[in-house]
């Protein structure tokens, strides 16, 4: 039963599954428009009090930032849980990076709800109606080069089980983050000498100064001089930074 329809969003109430199903006909272009639709959604949720919510995000392409997510948490997520929500499922949209921002917002914002993300509406509905999600039995990844488009861009297709869509998207996010780190810090990294790079790799293993010095057959005093230079050049503040450099620049 359709309970709401605008130029952007439709909301259906499915009594048999006690679910609200939202489909974005067209993506909102501004946060103001998004807030307006969410407030309508929350009002209807209060009226019908369904147990489940399914968001079909195929056409959604507005990335979320921290401010808008905090607003959603306060005006949508928390109230809907109070009105009876127990399960929230998302069907991943065409814009993977936008959906990554949605996934990150729930994680970083420590949301009151813990949604799951699915490649197909069928899988999402199965999870909503069953007590346990289907286990992932195959995580094989296939990467295919499918040529070049009319604009000269390479077309790469990644094939991975649809049941593992969340990890696939997270992998994209990690790759983009690492690429951004390389671009930002490559000028610093190129300042390191061969010996300093060697020391950086050893430090990334969590070894102490004396252990590193012994492995390199140098004195602790010499090692500390090298380490001071490394920290100054890379602006390193913690072991996490060390590991990030080693991983990003493929030094492992």
Q: Does residue 136 contact residue 102 with C-beta atoms inside 8 Å? A: no
pLDDT, greater one: 152 or 141: 152
Break the chain into its structural domains and give their ranges.
Answer: 2-129, 135-185, 191-248
Distance (Å, whole) CA 75 – CA 29: 20
Least confident of 45-49, 106-110, 205-209: 106-110
Q: What is the pLDDT of residues 67-103, one digit of tens each?
A: 999 999 999 999 999 999 999 999 998 888 888 888 8
- Between 55 and 206, name the one with better pLDDT: 55
- Cα(252)–Cα(82) distance, integer angstroms: 49
pTM of the model: 0.63
CATH fold for the domain made of 191-248: Arc Repressor Mutant, subunit A (1.10.10)
CB 206 within 8 A of CB 239: yes
Identify the pLDDT of residue 135. Answer: 47
DSSP H helical segments within the chain, as ranges?
31-48, 66-72, 78-82, 96-108, 121-129, 165-189, 194-203, 209-216, 220-234, 239-248
Do the Cβ atoms of 127 and 89 come closer than 8 Å?
yes
Give the CB-side neighbour count of residue 207, counting CA atoms within 13 A.
18
> Spelled out in words, what is the top-level CATH class assigned to the domain 2-129?
alpha beta
Q: Cα 73 from chain centroid?
A: 17
* pLDDT, tens digit, 9 for 90 and up, residues 11-50: 999 999 999 999 999 999 999 999 999 999 999 999 999 9
Angle between helices 165-189 and 220-234 (to 10 degrees): 110
Is the distance from CB of 89 to CB of 116 less than 8 angstroms?
yes
Name the more confident of 172 and 74: 74
């Amino acid at each position: 039963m359709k309970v709401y329809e605008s130029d952007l969003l439709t909301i259906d109430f499915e009594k048999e599954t006690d679910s609200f199903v939202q489909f974005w006909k067209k993506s909102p272009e501004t946060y103001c428009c998004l807030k307006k639709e969410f407030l309508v959604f929350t009002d209807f949720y209060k009226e019908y009090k369904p147990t489940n919510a399914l968001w079909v995000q195929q056409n959604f392409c507005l990335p979320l930032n921290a401010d808008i997510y905090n607003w959603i948490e306060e005006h949508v997520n928390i109230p809907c849980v109070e009105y009876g929500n127990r399960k929230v499922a998302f069907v991943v949209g065409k814009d993977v990076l936008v959906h990554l921002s949605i996934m990150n917002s729930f994680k970083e914002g420590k949301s009151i709800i813990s949604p799951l993300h699915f490649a197909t509406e069928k899988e999402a509905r199965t999870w909503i109606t069953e007590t346990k999600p289907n286990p992932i039995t195959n995580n094989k990844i296939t990467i295919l080069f499918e040529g070049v488009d009319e604009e000269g861009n390479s077309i790469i297709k990644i094939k991975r089980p649809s049941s593992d869509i969340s990890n696939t998207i997270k992998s994209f996010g990690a790759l983009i983050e690492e690429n951004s780190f390389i671009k930002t810090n490559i000028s610093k990294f190129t300042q390191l000498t061969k010996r300093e790079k060697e020391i950086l790799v050893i430090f990334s293993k969590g070894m102490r100064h004396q252990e590193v010095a012994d492995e390199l057959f140098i004195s602790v005093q010499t090692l500390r001089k090298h380490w001071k230079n490394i920290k100054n050049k890379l602006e390193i503040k913690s072991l996490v930074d060390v590991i990030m450099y080693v991983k990003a620049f493929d030094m492992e």
